[in-house]
Amino acid sequence: MCCALYYLKCQCSPLDGVKGNVLLDIGHGPTIYQDLSACEVFKEIIGADYTDRNREYYEKSLRNEPGTFDWTDVIKTVCEMEGKGKTVEEKREKLRNTVTKTIKCDITRSKPTEPLVLPQVDCMMTIGCLESGCKDLDTYRYARRNISTLLKIGGHLIIIAILNCTSYQLGGERFSSLSLSEEFMKDAITKTGYTILDLEVIPREYNKEQYDLCNYDSILFVLARKDKDIE
């Protein structure tokens, strides 16, 4: 939902919206919510994730197969927010037709989609991916450089990240997360050839039960433009 909100914000901004031919959704996991508004402003969406299980579940969710999470209420809310009169089924069909494939992607490699050679895209989006896949801040910076090779100069980068998080619980197991600060994120983005066009930090209201599941204290939204390649 947070990504859908951010896309709507971008479309109403003085930037005349973020749009183009191809969007690359890096680290999509098993979810589709992040692409619900994107499918209205991009002709093609390519999913990219490291694990086979995530890519398989993502594709099943696009087809709304039995046994997958029911996204109906989320899709309905997004349709209402967009105010274009689309029904849930129309939005499902639009998304299915816009997402052309999901590919394997390893953010720790200099060529993340190797052996596939992917033409550079118009927009790249990553939500909560790099902080889960990087062991330290140097690795994060390296991963940022790696995925930047997939984006055209002049293209847009959308990052949604959780700040000051050290761990999260999923399926009864606890996983570590790289703790990121707003200052570090600004530095990591600008030093890889980007100009930050919009940045927002939304503090999280404390709730002990939810905090025990994932101990982040705020969410960072960034919209940036790639101005140059960094070797």
Residue 110 lies in a domain: yes
Q: Looking at the 3D structure of the chain, how many domains does it have? A: 1
pLDDT confidence of residue 100: 97
Residue 82 lies in a domain: yes
215 marked ligand binding residue: no
Residues 127-149: pLDDT tens digits?
Answer: 988 998 899 999 999 999 999 99
Structural domain for 54, as ranges: 2-226
33 marked ligand binding residue: yes
Which has more pLDDT, 103 or 173? 103
Give the rounded percent of residues in the chain with a pLDDT score beyond 90. 75
Give the CA-trace dihedral at 188, 194, 200, 204, to 10 degrees: -30
Residues 76-94: pLDDT tens digits?
Answer: 999 998 898 999 999 999 9
Q: Is the pLDDT of residue 209 over 50?
A: yes
Q: Is the pLDDT of residue 1 over 90?
A: no
Q: To the nearest 5 percent, what fractions of the chain are helix, strand and coil?
A: 35, 30, 35
- 10-15: average pLDDT: 44
pTM of the model: 0.90
Residue 231 lies in a domain: no
pLDDT confidence of residue 18: 84
CATH code for the domain of 183? 3.40.50.150
Residue 140 lies in a domain: yes
Report d(CA 104, CA 55) in Å as an integer.
8
Residue 152: in which H helix or E strand, if any?
strand 151-163
3 state DSSP class of 19: coil
Q: Is the pLDDT of residue 119 over 70?
A: yes
| Mean pLDDT rounded to a whole number for the chain | 90
25 marked ligand binding residue: no
pLDDT confidence of residue 101: 96
Which has more pLDDT, 128 or 227? 227
Residue 14 lies in a domain: yes
pLDDT confidence of residue 16: 53
Report d(CA 102, CA 126) in Å as an integer.
14
